[in-house]
């Protein structure tokens, strides 16, 4: 079957099952068939994800380690290996891109495929769905669930229906009926807050939405609100976003031990963030002129925005900014979080300067240091002040993407 009036759009959501735990089981055959949970390093106390074997004991994402051990004596804890997950994810995404280039990487373990344009080459929705599952398994050895429908929300809902290793197809003209009795908060993007707003107006299931004028949502939530109305009726208008928008800001933050008052420690955290931000800007050939620096304490944020005289990506210049900030904004408060953000990242060196005042003193050194660290690992070579930096492992961000500026592990 090709695209017919029944399938004006064909969108698939691919969801890797228990992704991090599956990678652990794949890499260590001893773990296969056993209840495994992944935590952020061995210090982590919260389960990021767990295998289906563990889920059978009632263990779930977000559960405390102690509680999981209580439910299942054989529970195996594994520290997360974000770099490895990112590599597996990248392989999978590359393979999916061979099915269609119209791919939106939704998170490290989820992707939307817009099959509208290639469906007539690929056969029936069933065969396309099987093809996707086969492709993912053959490049990674990991099972996935696939949902196929005419819009993103219904496809995502479909993928959730059969886990693990499922394939669910909801033809677009059936979407409205299928969603009719589904609670609105089960759809992706409808928070409990919006759910309450809707429940107050008599809308609890998607089918109820037809009774509510779209303007009520538009007035309260704007265009995202109008989208929700269409979503519930099985007509999510959202397109599959095939390119990552250029970043509006780029930043790094870290939680510190509570009530940190030691000046050198705070400085070290700030400089740590400066190194990470500088590297990330350089890596994506970007620079910025406006920066937010903040220290969080019990009374809120000690923070301000700063402007440099030229767009920069030089970590040394960011260091200077951090020194200035600490000297002028911090007066001994006990702080517990740092944040450093470039507010206006832009492509570097696009507009050439008339007066060659741009400092190039350390750009050569940065290039060499960056290459060493890319090869041998982050901070293999780093300023000496960072020797005692926080050892909390990097975590993979929800907005991670295998290409572009989001390809980072915080």
Partner 1 sequence: MKFSILRETLLPELQIIISVVDRRQSLPILANVLFNSTGQGFSLTATDMEVELVASKDEPLGSTGQVTIPARKLLDICRSLPESAKLEFDASKDRVQLKSGKSRFSLASQPAQEFPLTDIEDFPVNFKIAQGVFRSLLEDTLFAMAQQDVRYYLNGLLLEIGPEKLRAVATDGHRLALKEVDISSNVTDTLQIIVPRKGVMELVRLVGDTEDPVEVYVSTNHIRFQIGHIRFTSKLIDGKFPDYERVIPKDSGNHMIADRETLRQSLNRASILSNEKYRGIRLEVKEGSLRAEAQNPEQEEAEEVIQVEYSGDPMEIGFNVSYLLDAIGAIKTEKVNVVLTDANSSCLILPQDESQCKYVVMPMRL
Are 11 and 113 a contacting pair, CB within 8 Å? Answer: yes
Q: Which of 41, 347, 367, 377 binds partner 1 (CB under 8 A)?
A: 347
Give least dist CB 231 to partner 1, A.
24
Q: CB of 97: closest distance to partner 1 in angstroms? A: 18
Nearest to residue 147, comparing CAs of 6, 3, 2, 14?
14
CB of 119 to partner 1, least distance (A): 23
Query: Is position 110 annotated as part of the catalytic site?
Result: yes
In the DSSP assignment, the letter for residue 14 is: E
With respect to partner 1, which residue has the nearer C-beta, 30 or 309?
309
DSSP run (H or E) holding 302 = strand 300-312
- Dist. CA 142–CA 261, nearest whole Å: 47
Binding segment (CB under 8 A) for partner 1, from list 200-208, 212-220, 346-354, 391-399: 346-354
> 265 with 271: CB under 8 angstroms?
no
Question: Among residues 354, 360, 361, 398, which is the contact residue for partner 1, using CB under 8 A?
Answer: 354
Interface positions, 217-246, toward partner 1 (CB under 8 A): 245-246
Contact pick of 193, 355, 360, 391 for partner 1 (by CB under 8 A): 355
Query: Should residue 350 be labelled a site residue for partner 1 when binding is judged by CB under 8 A?
Result: yes
Question: Facing residues of 260 across strands?
Answer: 335
- For partner 1, the binding residues in 278-317 under the rule CB under 8 A are 307-309
Query: Residue 37 has which token pair?
Result: 């949970």
| β-bridge pairing 167-169 and 47-50 | unpaired
Strand partners, 184: none
Contact between 351 and partner 1 (CB under 8 A)? yes
Question: Which of 60, 84, 241, 346: binder of partner 1 (CB under 8 A)?
Answer: 346
Of 110, 186, 287, 378, catalytic? 110
**By C-beta, is 245 or 361 nearer to partner 1?**
245
For 17-157, strand residue ranges (E) read: 36-39, 47-50, 76-79, 103-107, 110-114, 144-149
- State whether residue 356 is helix, strand or coil: coil
The catalytic site residues sit at 110
Binding site for partner 1 (CB under 8 A): 245-246, 307-309, 346-347, 349-355
């Amino acid at each position: 079957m090709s695209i017919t009036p029944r399938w004006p759009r064909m969108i698939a959501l691919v969801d890797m099952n228990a992704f991090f735990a599956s990678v652990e089981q794949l890499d260590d055959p001893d773990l296969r068939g056993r209840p495994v949970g992944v935590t952020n390093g061995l210090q982590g106390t919260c389960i990021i994800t767990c295998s289906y074997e563990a889920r059978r004991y009632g263990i779930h994402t977000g559960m405390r380690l102690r509680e999981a051990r209580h439910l299942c004596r054989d529970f195996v804890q594994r520290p997360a290996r974000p770099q490895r997950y990112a590599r597996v994810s990248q392989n999978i995404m590359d393979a999916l891109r061979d099915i269609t280039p119209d791919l939106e990487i939704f998170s490290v373990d989820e992707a939307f495929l817009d099959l509208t344009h290639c469906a007539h080459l690929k056969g029936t929705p069933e065969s396309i769905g099987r093809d996707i599952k086969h492709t993912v398994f053959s490049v990674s050895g990991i099972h996935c669930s696939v949902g196929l429908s005419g819009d993103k929300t219904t496809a995502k809902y479909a993928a959730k229906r059969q886990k693990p290793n499922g394939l669910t197809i909801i033809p677009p003209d059936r979407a409205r009926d299928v969603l009719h009795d589904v609670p609105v908060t089960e759809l992706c993007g409808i928070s409990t807050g919006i759910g309450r707003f809707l429940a107050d107006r008599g809308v609890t299931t998607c089918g109820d939405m037809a009774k509510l004028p779209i303007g009520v949502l538009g007035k309260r939530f704007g265009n995202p609100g109008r989208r929700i109305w269409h979503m519930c009726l099985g007509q999510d208008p959202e397109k599959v976003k095939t390119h990552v928008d250029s970043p509006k800001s780029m930043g790094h933050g870290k939680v510190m031990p509570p009530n940190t008052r030691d000046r050198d420690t705070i400085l070290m955290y700030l400089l740590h963030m400066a190194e990470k931000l500088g590297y990330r800007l350089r890596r994506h050939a970007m620079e910025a002129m406006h920066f937010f620096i903040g220290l969080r304490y019990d009374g809120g944020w000690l923070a301000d925005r700063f402007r440099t005289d030229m767009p920069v990506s030089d970590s040394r210049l960011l260091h200077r900014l951090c020194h200035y900030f600490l000297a002028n904004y911090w007066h001994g408060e006990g702080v517990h979080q740092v944040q450093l953000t470039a507010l206006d990242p832009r492509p570097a060196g696009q507009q050439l300067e008339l007066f060659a005042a741009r400092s190039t003193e350390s750009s050569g050194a940065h290039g060499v240091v960056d290459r060493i660290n890319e090869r041998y690992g982050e901070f293999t070579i780093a300023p000496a002040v960072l020797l005692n930096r926080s050892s909390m492992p990097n975590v993979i961000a929800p907005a991670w993407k295998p290409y572009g500026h989001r390809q980072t592990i915080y």
